[in-house]
Amino acid sequence: MIEAHALHKRYGRLLAVDGISFKVEPGEVLGFLGPNGAGKSTTMKMIAGFLAPTSGSAKVCGHDVQTQPMGARRSLGYLPEGAPGYGEMSPDGFLRFIADVRGLAGDRRHGRIAAVRSRLQLDGVWEQPIDTLSKGYKRRVGLAAAILHDPPALVLDEPTDGLDPNQKHEVRTLIRELARERTVLLSTHILEEVEAVCSRAIIVARGRVLADATPAELLARSRYQGAVSLLAEDSIAARAALDGMPGVSGFHQEGPDGRLYVFPQGRPVPLDAVGERLRQRGVAFRGLQPERGRLDEVFRAITAGEEAA
Ligand SMILES: Nc1ncnc2c1ncn2[C@@H]1O[C@H](COP(=O)(O)OP(=O)(O)OP(=O)(O)O)[C@@H](O)[C@H]1O
């Protein structure tokens, strides 16, 4: 379990974190989401014990990060933003170094290094300087270091930032696997990541929590949820045909192909009835489909006007 209680962090005149509280239970992947400068990294550094809070506290598996740092550090794996330091070292040297820092010795040390080498598929680059690895492999080395001591809780700061789509997919699959037996807090500003790996998301801006919900609950706030969309040969005729239809609240046309969105009123727009009505009125159309809602729109609505100065 990871807990934050009224965390505050002040940098001079800037209150970067302004009373953030949450709990992450085992088996949960909590996405920490927010615009640039929202206070995500600062919060994660306070949970990881790299930065002292101005006030408030954090606990990892019941250990207070400030007053019981040894217990908290033992229980937590932390992936900082960007690439691992010590770029001149190979994954082999770096992970042996981390094992020393973590106080791993004997069979356990040997076993854990072999376990992360295999789990993160580092065989092919084991002796290569980290500086010369691709971003995807660098991130794998960072994750290997974070889980080397087999901690029950993980804090991952933007784990897929800067990776190409294949590497993103690979790291997300790994996170989902790791999360099965752990508590995971990850920060991101990539909305698709929330849907791909998170069981819950907290949206922060200017150091405050603005929303705490499951991805499905967030999607339910989208005006696109329950809408249908279609490509009409004559979209003015399509609008005229559907205008006033029960359950339809309005229209919006967008995108390079001029897709027409039909918004719901109360309950989802009935897809079949829309198709039937267009056919009856002789309006040619294709690509009629239901819409599931858009996280980007919900995120924008929640954080509008909340960018850091
Ligand atoms: N050491 C520091 N000294 C002064 N200000 C800082 C320091 N570290 C961060 N800040 C400021 O605190 C605010 C929060 O920064 P933080 O890095 O926590 O945000 P973030 O949500 O992680 O942003 P990003 O998505 O860009 O990484 C920003 O305005 C940032 O400029």
Please write the tens of the pLDDT for every residue from 49-86.
Answer: 999 999 999 999 999 999 999 999 999 999 998 777 78
152-177 as b/e: b if 16+ CB within 10 A: bbbbbbbbbbebeeebbebbbebbee
Q: Which atom of ligand 1 is nearest to the CA of 12?
A: 4
Give residue 307's pLDDT: 61
- Is residue 173 located within the same domain as residue 273? no
- Is residue 36 located within the same domain as residue 175? yes
Q: Which helix (H) or strand (E) holds 18?
A: strand 14-24
pLDDT at residue 308 is higher than 80: no
pTM metric for this prediction = 0.87
- Is residue 37 located within the same domain as residue 186? yes
Picking from 209, 205, 216, the residue whose alpha carbon sits closest to that of residue 304 is 205
Distance 47 CA to ligand 1 centre (A): 15
40 in contact with ligand 1, CB cutoff 6 A: yes
**Tally of structural domains, the chain:** 2
- Is residue 285 located within the same domain as residue 146? no
- Is residue 77 located within the same domain as residue 194? yes
16 in contact with ligand 1, CB cutoff 6 A: yes
- The answer as to whether 297 is a domain residue is no
- The answer as to whether 309 is a domain residue is no
Residues with Cβ within 8 Å of 309's Cβ and at least 6 positions away in sequence, in order, are none
Sign of CA dihedral 43, 44, 47, 53: negative
Q: What is the ipTM score, two decimals? A: 0.96
- The answer as to whether 296 is a domain residue is no
Domain boundary among 186, 219, 252: 219
Q: Which atom of ligand 1 is nearest to the CA of 189?
A: 25
- The boundaries of the domain holding residue 24 are 2-219
Domain boundary among 187, 219, 251: 219
Ramachandran quadrant class, 151 (left: phi over 0; alpha: psi -120 to 50; beta: rest): beta
What are the angstrom distances between the C-alpha of 300 and each of 186, 196, 307? Answer: 20, 19, 11
Six-digit token string for 43: 């919060």
- Is residue 273 located within the same domain as residue 253? yes
Closest Cα to atom 29, ligand 1: which residue?
37
What are the angstrom distances between the C-alpha of 66 and each of 70, 71, 79, 86, 295? Answer: 9, 10, 19, 27, 36
Whole-angstrom Cα distance, residue 255 to residue 291?
15
- Is residue 247 located within the same domain as residue 161? no
Closest Cα to atom 12, ligand 1: which residue?
16
Does residue 27 sit in helix, strand or coil? coil
How would residue 168 be classed by pLDDT, with cut points 50, 70 and 90? confident
Picking from 56, 48, 58, the residue whose alpha carbon sits closest to that of residue 8 is 56
Whole-angstrom Cα distance, residue 118 to residue 80?
22
- Is residue 137 located within the same domain as residue 170? yes
50 in contact with ligand 1, CB cutoff 6 A: no
- The answer as to whether 302 is a domain residue is no
Does residue 76 sit in helix, strand or coil? strand
* Mean pLDDT of all residues in 107-123: 94
pLDDT at residue 253 is higher than 60: yes
- The answer as to whether 158 is a domain residue is yes
- Is residue 238 located within the same domain as residue 149? no
- Is residue 208 located within the same domain as residue 172? yes
Name the least confident of 17-21, 127-131, 209-213, 219-223: 219-223
- The answer as to whether 109 is a domain residue is yes
Residues with Cβ within 8 Å of 284's Cβ and at least 6 positions away in sequence, in order, are 232, 233, 234
- The answer as to whether 301 is a domain residue is no
Six-digit token string for 57: 């506290």
37 in contact with ligand 1, CB cutoff 6 A: yes
Domain boundary among 174, 197, 219: 219
Q: Which atom of ligand 1 is nearest to the CA of 42?
A: 18
Whole-angstrom Cα distance, residue 250 to residue 242?
9
Domain of 98, CATH number, reads 3.40.50.300
Residues with Cβ within 8 Å of 273's Cβ and at least 6 positions away in sequence, in order, are 245, 247
- The answer as to whether 132 is a domain residue is yes
- Is residue 139 located within the same domain as residue 199? yes
- Is residue 113 located within the same domain as residue 248? no
Q: Which atom of ligand 1 is nearest to the CA of 207?
A: 14
14 in contact with ligand 1, CB cutoff 6 A: yes
pLDDT digits (tens, 9 = 90+) for 182-201: 999 999 888 888 988 999 99
Domain of 251, CATH number, reads 3.30.70.100
* Mean pLDDT of all residues in 250-254: 93
